[in-house]
Amino acid sequence: MENVLEVKGLRTYFELAEGTVKAVDGIDFQLRKGEVLGIVGESGCGKSVTALSIMRILPKSARICDGQILFRNEGNVLDLVKLDANGEEMRRIRGKDISMIFQEPAACFSPVYTVGEQMIEAIVLHEDVSKQEARKLAVKMLDKVKIPNPESVLDRYSFQLSGGMLQRCMIAMALSLNPKVLIADEPTTALDVTIQAQIIYLVKQLQKEYSSSIIWITHDMGVIAQVSDRVAVMYLGHIVETAKVKDLFEDPKHPYTRALLRSIPRLARRKTKLEAIKGVVPDPYNLPTGCRYHDRCDSFMKGLCDREEPSEVEVGQDHRVKCFLYGGK
């Protein structure tokens, strides 16, 4: 299957007064046409920074130090890293060809403009249409995301809408230009479980309709199981395991992946204590040598895991893992 997006050796570092934070430190993955790739891991592992790197909207303290972000667009392959983040070409791609649903919609919609004004501005910026035509498209998209009375919602401000309604507006705006790649950065985190289920179902239906490729970022393995075709597990800036979603849940290889799955609450084990991943995420200014997970790992091998960094090993069809248990030298 054709790759729409390919990330190779991406390194994104933050240069701060306290030192350098290697938020994304040499990751590789591919997003195929029409698939949903789930990126999962604990908070602080580099998931959102990966998304911001692809969109080229990093804060001033961050920079892409190395790597490629190859985007296939109408037969051409563009390396987004080489484009000026504020240049005309990147601005054409951002929002139209690659769009993003942000984690906090309330922070993304300006409170001084109506939802409609912001949606219409995004459409007019990328399409040769009038404001009246853009408004009709905005109403149509709000209707598609199951918002009642879309005409009236367009004329409301963000503080007049609930979190679930705002998230639907964000999805409508992200999909209004039919992007080839949609990045969903924890779009259900701040919502209750009923609304979460509705949002997941909605995005899956719209993905089928628009044939978009989706990167779904979350820390929730339950959500990953529902939405993803393939999964990339991240830990401290590294991708430690990549597999098809069924293979990952049925036969997880990396000790960190297994620990994430064991920490999921199960109705059948109501009287047992919920298992937590031991230890804490290391200080980002003082990363451990060798495998970054070794100080929390049940399968730690002294003299190896704490000294050398494992390489990626293929352990099955479309299943790769970074661990000395499977070679990795």
| pLDDT by 10s per residue, the chain, length 329 | 688 999 999 999 999 888 899 999 999 999 998 899 999 998 889 999 999 999 999 999 999 999 999 998 777 899 999 999 999 999 999 988 999 988 887 888 889 999 999 999 999 988 889 999 999 999 998 988 888 899 999 999 999 998 888 888 988 888 888 889 999 998 877 677 777 787 788 888 878 877 789 999 998 888 888 889 999 999 999 999 999 999 999 999 999 999 988 887 776 666 667 777 888 888 888 888 899 999 899 888 988 998 999 999 999 889 999 999 988 67
* Predicted pLDDT at 95: 87
Which residue intervals of 211-253 are DSSP H helices?
221-227, 245-250
Q: How many helices (H) and strands (E) does the chain have?
A: 11, 12
Nearest to 138 by CA among 164, 118, 156: 118
* Predicted pLDDT at 268: 66
Specify whether the backbone of 228 is left (phi greater than 0), alpha (psi in -120 to 50) or beta: beta
* Predicted pLDDT at 280: 82
Q: How far apart are CA 120 and CA 133, in angstroms?
A: 9
C-alpha angle 184-187-192 in degrees, rounded to nearest 5? 160
Q: Could you give the strand order of the β-sheet that contains 3-16, starting from the edge strand earlier in sequence?
A: 19-32, 3-16, 62-73, 76-79
pTM of the model: 0.91
* Amino acid (one-letter) located at 106: A
Neighbours of 104 (CB within 10 A): 15
* Predicted pLDDT at 38: 94
How far is CA 276 from each of CA 255, 258, 260, 279, rounded to the nearest angstrom? 13, 11, 8, 9
Q: What are phi and psi of 113, to 5 degrees?
A: -125, 150
Say if residues 263 and 272 touch (Cβ distance below 8 Å).
no
Say if residues 255 and 299 touch (Cβ distance below 8 Å).
yes
Could you tell me how far CA 107 lies from the centroid of its own chain?
18
Q: How far apart are CA 206 and CA 299, in angstroms?
A: 42
Contacts 24+ apart (CB under 8 A), 124-130: 125/95, 126/92, 126/95, 126/96, 126/177, 127/177
Q: How far apart are CA 215 and CA 217, in angstroms?
A: 6
Nearest to 217 by CA among 205, 237, 233: 233
Nearest to 182 by CA among 158, 204, 154: 204
C-alpha angle 96-99-189 in degrees, rounded to nearest 5? 160
